[in-house]
Structure 1
Amino acid sequence: MGRMVRLTEAGRILQLRAEQIIGLVDSTVSEISEHHKGLRGTISIGTVASTGVTLLPERIRSFHQSYPMVYFQLWEGDTHRITELLESRVIEVGLVRLPIDHAKKYNMLQLPTEPLMAAIGPAWSEGDDESPIRLSDLADLPILLLRRQHGTFIYEQFLEACKQSGFEPNVLCESSDIMTLLALAESGVGIAIVPKSAINLRASTSLQFREIIEPSLETTAAVIWLKNRFLSTPARRFIETFSTIKDKSSNVESKSRL
């Protein structure tokens, strides 16, 4: 019987360096080819609905004008689903809501925070009032929330804020689909708690969107991609388009990490 061969520590280091060199050579060859032929390929992106609808359309349009041979595949889901798609390498880039589980696995470009809003239909509104609403004013109203996920997201954030304010909210419905929550709110079922960017999801609506205060509640989106994974040149170029809207006060990965 043959002997089992195992790499020494020095052998493992050499193997790692060899893999990195091969990867660098392959990416360099690809970039040189792209330089001569023009940037081409497919970018696979996963996004949560309320983020993608506000950030992707104009970027994809502009990017496609500059690089007409680059195509897009879009996947939608909640933050947990997007991280699953990244880890299974179905997508290269994710647009998610923070925080995320196992954040150290990812490079991250954090985007500006946005307030949580109460989406209120005609059955619960009083005139055209769009002024901020206190969290305590929601205590006796039926609440519609994005379904809880793994980790701490809008659902847990809202419940914790209510607890700190001395009441337990009447959560009537949970859904992973933000459009469903907005439709239910507009029909008078209850008050939907959504990110401010959700306003752009319904072009024509009778909903009032009122910012929640006392306390103010915020949510933050981010562009993420797996560490130690080779990114295609189209994906790297597309990620760079988000650097123009990053929150300058945030701790973000530098472009040199792309």
Structure 2
Amino acid sequence: MDVRQLRYFLAIAEEEQITRAAQRLHMAQPPLSHQLKLLEQELGVQLVERLGRKLKLTEAGRTLQRRAEQIVGLMEATVSEIVEHESGIRGTLSIGTVATTGSTLLPERIRAFHQRYPMVHFQLWEGNTHQITQLLERRTIEVGIVRLPIDDTKLYDMIRLPTEPLVAAVSHNWNQGESDSPIRLSDLADLPLMLLRRQQGTSIYEQTVEACQLAGFEPRVLCESADIMTLLTLAEAGVGITIVPKSAVSLRTSTRLRFREIVEPSLESTAAVIWLRYRVLSTPARRFIETISPTSTEL
């Protein structure tokens, strides 16, 4: 068993088909099937089972997949580090982020990181928390910036970011007291609310609804959306009021939209930087995480 065979096996495991794996590896299907058979013979176990046209990993196959990812990742990181001794840190750093936190956390850190490591290229992905964790699990990105809580916490290491309040984004057309004064949650009882769509791992919707119920009313949810910019645009147009993290203030500079602190009760949200616990990170990813915190903390 060598690294080449492990790469072949990982492609099969991820594509769940010999045909697609062979296309991905730019090789013919029969040699790839033969390599899988040789690997099973060498280990003396069945690694995959056929379910129609798809392949499913056996328990032994899943174990090998985890180990192969670590071995191949360590090999790639080792080669990268050796090259970097001569030419400096280079490569591509893929980061996924939820919109509000990414807009406040990333610009200054990317600027400083680029000044220090000018040969590192960035790929940025944006989505909700569930989408970011999927990108991490597919290994499309190395680092994710999400809102807590997340599912399957044992999969990740993380650095928690400071907790921030949720605020009400209100059009200037809405007459809800002084424009800069805090607003009680009960003041929103008879008003149409627009909330971040419920997603796996996203709690702002549930948190808001539960808080409204505890305040003695059932919220009038007019609209749900996974796109915070869509909610802010609708709020600016006077369609309704949306509740968003305070960092969303930086996404919208229009004077027609006012952000009001929510009191009685106050609502909060916590974001975090996360990465797969058992993945060998590239040097750029490790260095970037160090810019968030000198010592990363585990879940």
> Which TM-score applies when normalising by structure 1?
0.85
User: Aligned to 1:112, what secondary structure does the other structure show?
Assistant: coil
Deviation at 1:205, TM superposition (A): 3.1
200-209 or 135-144, which moves further after superposition? 200-209
C-alpha contact (below 8 Å) 2:147/2:202 kept by paired residues: no
Relative contact order higher in (CA < 8 Å, ≥ 6 apart): 1
1:227 aligns with 2:277: yes
Relative to total residues, which structure has the larger helix share, 1 or 2?
2
1:149 aligns with 2:149: no
Partner of 2:252: 202
User: Aligned to 2:229, what secondary structure does the other structure show?
Assistant: helix
Structure 2 unaligned regions, length at least 5:
1-37, 46-62
Find the structure with the greater CA-based Rg: 2
Matches within 5 A, 1:45-64: 45-64=95-114
Equivalent position to 1:162, from 187, 191, 212: 212
How many angstroms apart in 2 are the aligned matches of 1:152 and 1:46? 15
Deviation at 1:91, TM superposition (A): 0.6
Deviation at 1:239, TM superposition (A): 1.2
How many angstroms apart in 2 are the aligned matches of 1:21 and 1:252? 24
Deviation at 1:6, TM superposition (A): 3.4
How many angstroms apart in 2 are the aligned matches of 1:159 and 1:133? 16
C-alpha contact (below 8 Å) 2:194/2:242 kept by paired residues: yes
Could you report, residue by residue, the CA deviation over 1:165-196 in whole angstroms, capped at 9, with x for unpaired residues?
11100011111111111111111111110000
Q: What is the number of equivalent residue pairs in this alignment?
A: 243
Deviation at 1:85, TM superposition (A): 0.5
How many angstroms apart in 2 are the aligned matches of 1:91 and 1:172? 34
C-alpha contact (below 8 Å) 1:120/1:207 kept by paired residues: yes
Matches within 5 A, 1:21-36: 24=74, 26-36=76-86
Partner of 1:109: 159
> Which TM-score applies when normalising by structure 2?
0.74
Name the amino acid aligned to 1:238: F
Partner of 2:93: 43
Partner of 2:32: none
Equivalent position to 2:298, from 227, 231, 253: 253
Deviation at 1:158, TM superposition (A): 0.4
Equivalent position to 2:234, from 178, 184, 191: 184
Structure 1 unaligned regions, length at least 5:
8-12
C-alpha contact (below 8 Å) 1:186/1:205 kept by paired residues: no
1:212 aligns with 2:269: no
Partner of 2:290: 240
Partner of 1:10: none
